[in-house]
Chain A
Amino acid sequence: MMDAVAAVVAFVAALATVTFVEMVVRITVPYLLAALGGAITERAGLVDLALEAKLLFGAFTAAAIAHDTGSIALAIAGAAVAGAAVGAVQALWAIRLGADQIVTGVALNLAAYGLTRYLLQVMYGQGSNSPRIDGIGAKVWSSPLTWLALVLTAVAIVMIARTRLGLRVRAVGERPDATAAAGVSVAGTRLAAVLVGSAIAGVGGAQLSLVVNGFVAEMSSGRGYVALAAVIMGGWRPAWVALVCLGFGAAEAVQVRMQSAGTGLPPELVRLLPYLLALVLLATLRGRGRAPAALGRGA
């Protein structure tokens, strides 16, 4: 018994290190950016199930550009464009064509899984990963993405709550009819929100491939869905969403640490920690926030 307590204490003490904090930051960035992007899109009234596609295309584009140019800045910009491109399809489908938003999101994710694998074959002749690139690696404090993520978080919080665009975004997500009557273009505002939100999510994808110095097929591995769970749990408010993502990042870092520390717990189950956490929170945190009234209603 005392041994077990001592082991737990030792484990927790071992967590309080700089490298652990760095790991949490590194893991949190993709969740954070995907979820902030998702929050902006959803506040405008569009269901954002395509976060997975944005992360994956962002990661692939960043790796491809870094491979060709060696420029991290261009890679990040490319990832933002890739995310926005997914968002453009999403917006066209939802706003102009009135397609079902959940279906569109799921189809875009399927397309992302297939197309990135196809392009890997066509461009590099390899089925599951890109050639090694000079990415960012394990750096955290000198990584531009860390600071970009911080800035984008602040931007998202301020934009939604304090700016004219943010007010319009919230308005089209709640009462599109009233907003239209007030002379604001519902379609235009939604398009702007989706493009901005999707670009941010795409940058989250850049973090995935640049820190491991290459693209790996399906490397988003469900993070887009967990990010959407974070949006819901954070009540669609960027600051809360960011906190939830930090929680997921910490949970995943603890999980990684527990595996390497060999706690005796089965690794197959330890790996599920973030998912279990999300599920329990979803089932218990009822009524934390309210979904935008016009969410998923189409144009």
Chain B
Amino acid sequence: MTPSGVDRGGDGARFAELRAAAVALLAAMAAGSLLIILAGASPLEVWRTLVARTFGDAYGAGQVVFRATPLVLTGLAVAVPLRAGLFNIGAEGQMIAAAMCCAVVGAALPAATPALLALPVAMAAAAVAGGAVGAATGALRAYRGAHEVIVAILLNAIIAGVALWLGNQWLFVGEATRTASVVEGARFAELGITGSSASSSVVVALVAAAAVGWLQTRSTIGFRWRMIGGGPDAALAAGISVARDRVSAMAAAGALAGLAGAHFVLGHKHAFEEGLGRGVGFLGVAVALLAQGRAAAIVVSAVLFAALSQGGLGVAELVPKELVDVLQAVVVLVAAATLGRTTSVGGGAR
């Protein structure tokens, strides 16, 4: 069994992965067409509308960029621990904790704080909060043997509840479930693509992808993560502190998911809102899996899933918009099946 997206290199493996992605897309379109017919609509019209409403005009394309930005980050948040044989399904909770922390810090800054200072501080707050949640999940796995998937799912629910409590108790202003706005300086500039919500936080996502790509292929910590993913026993025998590096992989993942939270707070809502970014953490799993955990491919994969999400709104008058949720799930299912024996999350059991 070849574990966890370890680079098997070679054009053959790369071709197999491209083929898997293509097959997954075609299968999703086939399944989607059936569902569309079931709903009494014309598949051709739905697919045409979906493309037209995403890449067909500047607004649609801008919205795809806006939606892809956090997906790149949560995709990376899944990809980094995947290399180390850990499955991070907790990006959702990491993102919420980070968004709340980011909003509080961003609003507490003096109103005149320049962007050069305010943005990094608010982003750091998000990364630290998300990283702490990730590290806690990793530590429960590494030192207490608790299954990281279950722990993360429980933490997702707990964090959502605690955030709501903190908000209701102290942080929400007025009648809305929304915190105070962050200062002017702590806001990502809008890109100004004809009314779309795309903001300069897309730069953060791209830099993060480049950094993760470098970490994975060129750094010693990346090498250690890969070794652990390849086989924890061998890594331990080679003198690698498996427990510590598993925690570090999860902390890095949490920080990346935290930046996705910052995208919503600093680039869109300019505050923490109840339900902010819901589902983006889970979708990151799909993004990372389709991309086989590779940083550059994650950017492409994120754009694809973002286009599906945005397209769902575009076709809502023809078919229920939940169609795209099913399509996204089918893409992951078929990709997992096509890649089959060539890849695995590795140590899936524990």
Seen from chain A, the residues whose Cβ lies within 8 Å of a Cβ on chain B are 47, 49, 89, 93, 97-104, 106-108, 110-111, 113-115, 117-118, 121-122, 127, 222, 225-226, 228-229, 232, 266, 268-269, 271-272, 275-276, 278-279, 282-284, 286-287, 291-292, 295-298
Contact = CB atoms under 8 A, between A and B. Distances in A.
B12 interface: no
Interface residues of B, number: 52
A93 B337 contact: yes
A296 B348 contact: yes
Contact of A99 (B35, B286, B325, B337): B337
A8 B329 CA distance: 47
A127 B336 contact: no
Interface in B307-332: 320, 322-326, 328-330, 332
A267 to B, nearest CB: 9
Contacts of A115: 322, 325-326, 329
A42 to B, nearest CB: 9
Contacts of A100: 336, 343-345, 348
Given A107-B336, A275-B154, 7 more contacts: A89-B333, A97-B337, A100-B343, A102-B345, A110-B328, A118-B39, A232-B147
A106 B320 CA distance: 22
A216 to B, nearest CB: 15
Given A268-B164, A275-B157, A93 B336 contact: yes
B298 interface: no
Given A118-B326, A276-B158, A282 B320 contact: no
A265 to B, nearest CB: 10
Interface string B168-201: 1100000000000000000000000000000000
Nearest to A295: B349
A99 B339 contact: yes
Interface in B260-282: 282
B348 A101 contact: yes
Kindly list the 9 A-B residue pairs having the minimum CB-CB distance in the complex, ordered from nearest.
A114-B325, A111-B329, A296-B349, A121-B320, A296-B348, A268-B165, A295-B349, A98-B341, A110-B329
Contacts of A295: 348-350
Contact of B336 (A103, A226, A284): A103
B340 A269 contact: no
A107 B89 CA distance: 12
A49 B149 contact: yes
Interface of B: 1, 35, 38-39, 87, 89, 140, 144-147, 149-151, 153-155, 157-158, 161-162, 164-165, 168-169, 282, 285-286, 289, 320, 322-326, 328-330, 332-333, 336-337, 339-341, 343-345, 347-350
Contacts, number: 154
Given A117-B322, A117-B325, A298-B344, A99 B336 contact: yes
A266 B169 contact: yes
B349 A93 contact: no
Contacts of B146: 282-283, 286
B333 A283 contact: no
A228 B340 CA distance: 24
Contacts of B153: 222, 225
Contact of B329 (A98, A107, A228): A107
B167 to A, nearest CB: 9
Contacts of B330: 107, 111
A268 B329 contact: no
Contact of A103 (B39, B154, B157, B332): B332
A186 to B, nearest CB: 16
Contacts of A93: 333, 336-337
Given A110-B286, A279-B154, A122 B332 contact: no
Residue from the set B35, B289, B320 with the largest chain A CB neighbour count within 10 Å? B320
A103 B145 CA distance: 21
B326 A114 contact: yes
22 contacts: A93-B337, A98-B340, A99-B333, A100-B348, A110-B325, A110-B328, A111-B329, A114-B323, A114-B325, A114-B326, A114-B328, A114-B329, A117-B320, A118-B39, A225-B154, A232-B150, A283-B140, A287-B145, A291-B349, A295-B349, A298-B1, A298-B344
Nearest to A113: B325
Contacts of B350: 291, 295
B161 A272 contact: yes
B71 to A, nearest CB: 14
Contacts of A111: 325-326, 329-330, 333
A156 to B, nearest CB: 21
Contact of B144 (A117, A276, A283): A283
Contact of B332 (A110, A276, A298): A110
A102 to B, nearest CB: 5
B1 A282 contact: no
Contacts of B325: 110-111, 113-115, 117-118
A88 to B, nearest CB: 13
